[in-house]
Amino acid sequence: MNWPDLSMGGYGFYVWGSYLFALLAIVWELVTLSYRKRAREQEKTAQQVLRGTTNETTS
Amino acid sequence: MNLYKYASPTNFYPLAGKMIPWFATPAGILFGVGLFVGFFIAPPDFQQGDAYRIMFIHVPAAWLGMFLYILMAIYAGIGWAFNARLASMMASSISITGAMFTFLSLVTGAFWGKPTWGTWWVWDARMTSTLILLFLYIGFISLQSSIDDPRRADRAGAVLALVGVINVPIIYFSVQWWNTLHQGATIRILQKPTIHGSMLWAMLIMLAACWLYSVAVVLIRVRCIIVEREQNASHFVEATV
């Protein structure tokens, strides 16, 4: 097993920079997706409640 | 088991929800294993030193950018040809992840290019065609979001996706067709890889991780799209209670 040198032989900025960017891209995608999912779930619940209410009032 | 019933967004919605953990969990594990092999097992390169380790994220991102575009075009084409709503929704869902990986491949490529070539960017055939791929993804996403009627948006997006698919072989063969600064393919299907086994394994594990991650994220997003588009349909609301 090779313990990597954190400076990456002088290329640390480039290596860690690219992995940091990858992490940020994945986190950005997951966070925006989570917001979107939450908003849609709320809409869906509201829709179900509305339909339930409508059914009650029409029945 | 009748698989055709899962072509309906209403039936696919709960199935997608059940499938997500089966892709997300292995993706997380494989990201850990891939990074461990890439940073602790794989030796430094004899020419590039440790700078080559950018490859473990750059290559999977570039491959997925291309592969997801082909997949997106296939789904968009099926949606257009057979009027299959779920296929069009899948195309929309794939587009954002594909664009993210293409953007990531360009950025990590720039991070790799600076120490090895001495420049962040050149108008090289491989890099320029990959940039065009990103523009195609952005065009697809923008076109879909600019048209209010989802069915018309799907058709317009399908035309763009199918026309743009020609760019994928151009990206792949650009290093053979033109004299480029970008290096040629290190891994070919019919030839023995020219890199160290541990480097190859790290890259393949990271590729599998990125692929599983993409499937999980696409499934989560397609569930959101199904809710957005079908929320007014009573059969969907009743089926997903």
Q: What is the pLDDT of residues B169-187, one digit of tens each?
A: 999 998 888 887 787 777 6
The total of other beta-carbon atoms located within 10 Å of residue B131's CB is 16
pLDDT above 60 for B93: yes
Partner residues linked to B45 by β-bridges: B49
What integer pLDDT is reported at residue B159 of this predicted model?
Answer: 96
pLDDT above 70 for B70: yes
d(CA B176, CA B121): 20
**Contact criterion met (CB below 8 Å) for B236 and B47:** no
A29: contact with B, CB 8 A cutoff: yes
Q: A1 and B41: CB-CB below 8 Å? A: yes
String of DSSP letters for B134-151: HHHHHHHHHHHHH-SSHH
A53 or B91, which is more confident:
B91
What integer pLDDT is reported at residue B190 of this predicted model?
Answer: 67
pLDDT above 90 for B5: no
What φ, ψ does residue B166 adopt, rounded to 5°?
-60, -25
Q: Which two tokens stand for residue B120?
A: 């962040």
pLDDT above 70 for B46: yes
pLDDT above 70 for B126: yes
Rounded to an integer, the average pLDDT of B154-160 is 95
Rounded to an integer, the average pLDDT of B32-48 is 92
Say if residue B219 is exposed, middle or buried (CB neighbours under 10 Å; 0-12, 13-18, 19+): buried
What integer pLDDT is reported at residue A56 of this predicted model?
Answer: 43
Q: What pTM was computed for the model?
A: 0.89
B189 or B214, which is more confident:
B214
pLDDT band at B160 (very low <50, low <70, confident <90, very high): very high
A26: contact with B, CB 8 A cutoff: yes
Residues A8-58 have pLDDT tens digits of 888 999 999 999 999 999 999 999 999 998 888 887 788 778 777 554 443
pLDDT band at B113 (very low <50, low <70, confident <90, very high): very high
What integer pLDDT is reported at residue B13 of this predicted model?
Answer: 92
Q: Which two tokens stand for residue B146?
A: 């600019």
What integer pLDDT is reported at residue B158 of this predicted model?
Answer: 96
Q: A15 and B107: CB-CB below 8 Å? A: no
The total of other beta-carbon atoms located within 10 Å of residue B216's CB is 23
Partner residues linked to B49 by β-bridges: B45
Q: A47 and B228: CB-CB below 8 Å? A: no
Q: A15 and B53: CB-CB below 8 Å? A: yes
What percentage of chain B carries pLDDT values higher than 70?
93
What integer pLDDT is reported at residue B234 of this predicted model?
Answer: 58
d(CA B203, CA B31): 10
Report the residue from A1, A19, A33 with minimal CB separation from B57: A19
pLDDT band at B16 (very low <50, low <70, confident <90, very high): very high
What integer pLDDT is reported at residue A58 of this predicted model?
Answer: 37
**Contact criterion met (CB below 8 Å) for B129 and B167:** yes
| Mean pLDDT taken over chain B | 90
